[in-house]
Chain A
Amino acid sequence: MDRQQDYVLRTVEERNIRSLRLWFTDVLGVLKSVAIAPAELESAFTEGIGFDGSAIEGLTRVYEADMIAHPDPSTFQLLPWRGEKQVTARMFCDLFTPDGEPSAADSRQVLRRALARASEQGFTYYTHPEVEFYLFQTPVDPTNLIPVDCGGYFDHVVRSAGQDFRREAITMLEDMGISVEFSHHEAGPGQNEIDLRYADALTTADNLMSFRTIVKEVALEQGVFASFMPKPLSDHPGSGMHTHVSLFEGDSNAFYEPGAPLELSQVGRSFIAGLLRHAAEITAVTNQFVNSYKRLWSGAEAPSYICWGHNNRSALVRVPMYSPGKGQSTRVEYRALDSAVNPYLAFAVILAAGLQGVKNGYELPEGAEDDVWELTDAERRAMGIDPLPTSLDAAISVMQSSELVAETLGEHVFDFFLRNKRKEWADYRTQITAYELSRFVPSL
């Protein structure tokens, strides 16, 4: 640790950094930032920075407003968009109570705890997200969103804002040490996808928080607006965040077993079985907004049904094509997540669900070969394929009886999350939508 701290202190001096941002994430996955002067950095390392957390969603109970943020020096990065004059850097923080206990309300601690449990079983956990998002023309009118282009999947759009945008965003991501695997135009107009390279789950979650910030920043610079809303346009695909996950035991991929079907080890099979069995319970976390369910149930390739398949683009869990000789890359893709997720919590519950399968040796049900959307309800029932919750309301009611999710999030976050989501659902239900108005005013 101290080497990293030394490095940070030295860099701050050498690069003449003017301002430091301490980042953390509230329970809903919104990035929060506290700025400190470089002079305060040393004491931030030794003692942490105290702040009043009572105004921040889900962070504290009313009676203990004080929180201590301890910056994690291994997450130190310059913020490239701040330019060379106002050099600014950021670090992610772990949150503690004034007594030095890890804060029960800190998303990052939730993931840390889940990782610690996995590590007790000898596993490390890697994730690799594919983030989709839309670019809209500015100024943005939420009632009339205009995408920046009319391209489709993998389209090369000449002189498109999107292409410049992706180039610039990727440069900035790489500047911050976040490796990008792949990027392309997605199916919707103005929709883009950028895939991050796989890394341990905590790093990936931190990277996603940076990623969303960078994308927003670059958009601002280029005069467009970026949105991670799960389903902004009813006629076009939503923005998902398919996430590939894998477990490693030491240096070897625990999902890989040469010669097994799909080269998938027993651990891998049980992990998938765990994901499937607990999929409904974790959906409120992986798809946390009312709008998330508009994407989840929009048909096409949305992963609405709890099943798995090999290269089946309609399945909830997919085992990607195995490339011979690449045992280390054996992985499982979970396709429910959307881009507005709190990655710390979502990665934690996915891990917990999978490990539950590994621990209890769940049997993997048969894979689905067909496009499950093409099947009739009766056929799906016959095949034992259940749907994911169809609304936030349904997801909440499954989650609230889930010991797995309660255990993973901890009682405090669990309780806050449910309360917050119930309120969101209640608020949403009172809305009179444009659909209702246009449909019913003329006829009733």
Chain B
Amino acid sequence: MSGPPGRSGRTPSMAARLGRAGVRDVARTERLLADAALTAVVPADADLPGLLGEVADPDLAALGLVKVADAVRPGPARTALVAALADPGPAAARLLAVLGASTELGNFVATHPNALLAVLDDEPATGVDAGAVRAELLGVVGADPAADVPVAEPGGPAGVDAMRVAYRTRLVRIAAADLVAEDPAQTMPQVAAALADLAAAALEASLALARAEMDDHGAGVRLAVIGMGKCGGRELNYVSDVDVVYVAEPCEGTPEDEAMVVGARLATSLARACSSVSGEPALWPVDAALRPEGKDGPLVRTLASHRTYYERWARTWEFQALLKARPLAGDAGLGAAYVEMTQPFVWSAVTREHFVEDSQAMRRRVEEHLPRAQADRQIKLGVGGLRDVEFTVQLLQLVHGRADETIRSGNTLTALAALASVGYVGRDHAAQLDQHYRFLRVMEHRLQLARLQRTHVLPTAEADLERLARSMGMRGADVLTERWRSTQRDVRHLHEEMFYRPLLPATAQLSTDEARLAPDAAKARLAAIGYRDPAGAVRHIAALTEGLSRRAAIQRQLLPVMLGWFADGADPDAGLLAFRRLSDTLGSTHWYLKLLRDSGNAAQNLSSVLSTSRYVADVLTRSPKSVMWLGDDAELEPRPHQVLWAEAEAILDRTEEPVAAAVALRALRRREMARAACAQVLAQVTEDRVAASVTTATDVVLAGGVRIARHQARHSLGLDQDPAQFAVVAMGRLGGQEMGYSSDADVMYVYDPVASADAAVAQEWAVQVAVMLRALLVDTAAEPPLELDTDLRPEGRNGPLVRSLAAFEEYYERWSSVWEAQALLRARPVAGDQDLGERFMALADPVRYPTGGLALADVREIRRIKARVEAERLPRGVDPARHVKLGRGGLSDVEWTAQLYQLCHAHEVVALRTTSTTGALDAAAEAGLLESDDVQVLRAAWELAMRVRDANVLWSGRTDPAHTNQLPHDRRTLVGVARAMGYGPGGGAALEEEYLRSARRSRAVVERVFYG
């Protein structure tokens, strides 16, 4: 093949021209263009390659053109085709654009060549009066557009096919105009409106066909088809389900139930006309799933029945859907009445029960940070996709539409513009979101046109992406992909900007361009996302953002998104308040503002801990520098003992004054507890790490405190040297390294006079050390005390506060009772002279690990004491099932069980010689003393109880036993505690059930293996 004779030398070959036009299979296309059918209608010198260069898929367009040329018979269509191709202008461009963008529309034109006229004539495709379109489609089924109730004549399958052809013909017209538009994003709204009007006309014609099928044309019933979703919003795309709701009323003289039966038949038959198999392809599914009760509800209802449903049962999302309701077809008066009836519901939805939860769920969906798997290519439902834009707009409409009628449009872009013009969102932001929405819609339209398929997923093949890019006037798949990515990012970001930024008060606005909400509107928005005291929140926001300081400037940037993060926590109001306090304290500290502004996650971590944990909020307010940790995960790691001890030594070295030194030590402990708490709330550490952190800090404080106290005692007795060795023995949870935020330190004191010392002086000195240690660590000071509990010493409260090693030795030889042996199990030297500590443990070992185990009488005694403790120690009026320490299956049950096995078997099983409860349980399982299943149950219950205990402190900030030791009763507290433990929103009931179950199982094991 070659070009026209005589030209080949001067112009590039046909092949080269086709190649330049983007044709992939040049040889095939060249053959196609020379097809006899085509040459019959195209002048020899027509610049087909030039035309092909403009379309999405030139190969496809060439093939389509041949098919059309082959199919068209002499007549007006053929005349128009010849004319258009003779002197290629806009008409030819439209035709090739359609053929190159859509296989399916190409096939349609080839099988219905008369549709060519719709592409080639100069009639407008968009901006056409909806009434005219309706009349056109009613006309083709032989119905009278002017009739109150149009009925098709004759109807039947032929009518259905005629309606479908007319629909497609107009669809081709719209697509043709759309595809050659200078700026498709600009004309997108008109295209979407034209598609919605066309769909409405098709529904009207289908209803006329449905009526024609009935003997009396369904005369007893008035039926209105209400559009929901995109069709309702008059922003339809090329192919999607058309969402509808049917409302019906009996005509006079027809009983209601009969009318409903007829109405349902009409609706069913109408949907069939649109979507069932017939001679012509189906249009789209008619989806009535948004009706009351969804798929389980009756297909049609009366107005009153709809009203009853919406009054009582509907959920937030249903009102969100109703926001777009618009009469599409059928009885216009009834349709209007329906919309009028539903509007008040839509605009008062914000006041209904569950709105906050529902809207939070909607909001979280848009704000989720992790892109969901596979969602990456989803234009509609993916991250930053169409649904996100629509949700953002609709949520704002629901929140503010109650007070403001001007923002109630069902059309996304109209509503967005209205929100901006009234100042609910920033103009710039609205304009950007508008552009993104248009881009996404054009992309969706082009995708759907290709095969007229309901698809929202970006293709993966390079060639497909390339074609899509070309159809949108972009050169290259890369350009398209890049634009899609940036749109995704921006939509998310804009949501935050639009939703939260306008909450800043007018005084905090940097430019007049930004939106600012009136106080009532701000309160409505805050209440909608879960703030319980919106008025208070408004005040805090104002205080945080007003003024010219650098702090205010940075907080103006940060606060909007933080408001959303607070709302994700269990107590948004408390989070915001704590943040304000913190900011007041830190003022314009340089690092603080820099941290919040620059650190990737500091601000979010801060929001999260402040709105989840009152305990952390308190400690952060007390030592604001701790906020620094939130920007650095390494800072949240527990500090090892030697690091803390080095710090304590430095404190002791540099601080002369004893009380000041002790206060500094207490501050160190508080800080480490705060670190553990932050890490725990942010789920960075496990429970045993928390216990280890708190214990380590306590160890260090005790060691330092003893050093100061010895010095003081020596000083007050006028001694040059210590007259004795002195050691603190840790007992209980401290000994077991299982401390929580609220644990006391159980201790015993032992001393041993040095050879040269007078025994009485040594004793007096040792008592002084103990008394001074308490004074230093417990007595009032700015820093929280470390409560010392010495009740576990021999003879309890009646025994001497300190004993010499010799006295201990004598006591244990002569008097020791089994509960003292039990208490010694968790003994561990923690402070003072290491050598003495070791000698004490050598003394304790034979007591706590008695050779041959326990005598039966002792086992009985332990069981008896435990039973009595259960009966007596539990506070009055407390449900035993909910007391995590003393209740059934709680901490004490598990610990006594572990300790009984230690007492009986530690003499032979060395691994049982541990101060750790879980360590002892594991050792017992390892040695085959306990079933490993039982140990699993006990461990699980013990760990959960520890977590509840700590979470009680984290949530409430209170450390008194009445609060820490019970699974909360109050539902709100329970939910908060559950959140602090990492349960999702509303996890209170789940936590309750899990704890009760775990404790019940644990108790069953305890009854078996402890009580025997």
Contacts and interface: CB of A to CB of B under 8 A. Distances in A.
Given A2-B292, A2-B308, A45-B312, A415 B996 contact: yes
Range of interface residues on B (Cβ < 8 Å): 20 to 34
Interface string A1-32: 11101100000000000000000000000000
Nearest to B304: A6
A3 B305 contact: yes
Nearest to B993: A411
A410 B312 contact: no
Contacts of A104: 989, 993
B1000 A406 contact: yes
Interface in B301-352: 305, 308-309, 311-313
A61 B879 contact: yes
Contacts of B353: 100
Instruction: Specify which of B969, B996, B1001 lies most central, judged by the most chain A CB atoms within 10 Å of its CB.
Output: B996
A2 B996 contact: no
B149 to A, nearest CB: 27
Contacts of B1000: 406, 411, 414-415
A412 B996 contact: yes
A1 B313 contact: yes
Contact of A411 (B293, B971, B997): B997
B961 interface: no
Contact of B312 (A2, A98, A400, A401): A2
A400 B1003 CA distance: 11
Interface string A231-274: 00000000000000000000000000000000000000000000
B971 A99 contact: yes
Contacts of B313: 1-2
B305 A46 contact: no
A63 B298 CA distance: 43
A377 interface: no
A141 interface: no
A411 B993 CA distance: 6
A5 B308 CA distance: 9
B989 A101 contact: yes
B757 to A, nearest CB: 59
Interface string A390-418: 00000000001101001000111011000
A244 B934 CA distance: 38
A400 B1004 contact: yes
Contacts of A412: 996
B969 A6 contact: no
Contacts of A100: 353
Nearest to A6: B308
Interface string A338-371: 0000000000000000000000000000000000
Of A2, A45, A64, A403, the most chain B CB neighbours within 10 A belong to: A2
A64 B312 contact: no
A179 interface: no
B881 interface: yes
A100 B358 CA distance: 14
A98 B972 CA distance: 11
A97 interface: yes
Nearest to B1003: A400
A46 B312 contact: yes
B993 A2 contact: no
A97 B298 contact: no
Given A2-B313, A6-B305, A415-B996, A97 B881 contact: no
A61 B971 contact: no
Given A46-B312, A64-B969, A415-B996, A2 B879 contact: no
Interface residues of A, number: 25
Contacts of A1: 293, 313
Interface string A87-128: 000000000011111001000000000000000000000000
B312 A415 contact: no
Contacts of B309: 2
Contacts of B997: 406, 411
Nearest to A2: B309
A137 B311 CA distance: 52
A411 B298 contact: no
B861 to A, nearest CB: 27
A411 to B, nearest CB: 4
A410 B881 contact: no
Nearest to B882: A61
Interface in B338-390: 353
Interface string B902-937: 000000000000000000000000000000000000
B1004 A401 contact: yes
A99 B293 CA distance: 24
A326 to B, nearest CB: 30
Contacts of A406: 997, 1000
B298 to A, nearest CB: 7
Given A1-B313, A101-B989, A401-B1004, A415 B881 contact: yes
Given A2-B292, A2-B313, A410-B993, A97 B971 contact: yes
Interface in B238-256: none
B293 A2 contact: yes
A3 B989 CA distance: 32
Contacts of A63: 969
A66 to B, nearest CB: 11
A317 to B, nearest CB: 28
Contacts of A6: 305, 308
A276 B997 CA distance: 25
Contacts of A3: 298, 305
Contacts of B312: 2, 5, 45-46
Nearest to B310: A2
Contact of A61 (B308, B311, B969, B989): B969
Nearest to B309: A2
Interface in A62-77: 63-64
Contacts of A403: 1001
Of the listed residues B293, B312, B969, B971, the one surrounded by the most CB atoms of chain A closer than 10 A to its CB is B312
Contacts of B881: 411, 415
Nearest to B881: A415
Contacts of A61: 879, 969
Nearest to A415: B881
A410 B997 CA distance: 9
Nearest to B307: A2
B996 A411 contact: yes
Interface string B967-1004: 00101000000000000000001001100110011001
B321 to A, nearest CB: 17
Interface string B879-892: 10100000000000
A403 B998 CA distance: 11
A210 B309 CA distance: 29
Most interface-central of A3, A98, A403 (chain B CB within 10 A) = A3
A201 B313 CA distance: 25
B164 to A, nearest CB: 35
B642 to A, nearest CB: 46
Contacts of B292: 2
A61 B312 CA distance: 30
Contact of A2 (B305, B971, B992): B305
Nearest to B998: A411
A96 to B, nearest CB: 12
Interface of A: 1-3, 5-6, 45-46, 61, 63-64, 97-101, 104, 400-401, 403, 406, 410-412, 414-415
18 contacts: A1-B313, A2-B309, A3-B305, A5-B312, A6-B305, A6-B308, A45-B312, A46-B312, A61-B879, A61-B969, A63-B969, A64-B969, A99-B971, A104-B993, A410-B993, A412-B996, A414-B1000, A415-B1000
Interface of B: 292-293, 298, 305, 308-309, 311-313, 353, 879, 881, 969, 971, 989, 992-993, 996-997, 1000-1001, 1004
Given A46-B312, A101-B989, A104-B989, 9 more contacts: A1-B293, A2-B293, A63-B969, A64-B969, A97-B971, A400-B1004, A406-B997, A411-B992, A411-B997
Q: Ordered nearest first, which 8 A-B pairs have the shortest CB separation? A: A411-B996, A2-B309, A63-B969, A99-B971, A2-B308, A46-B312, A411-B997, A2-B313
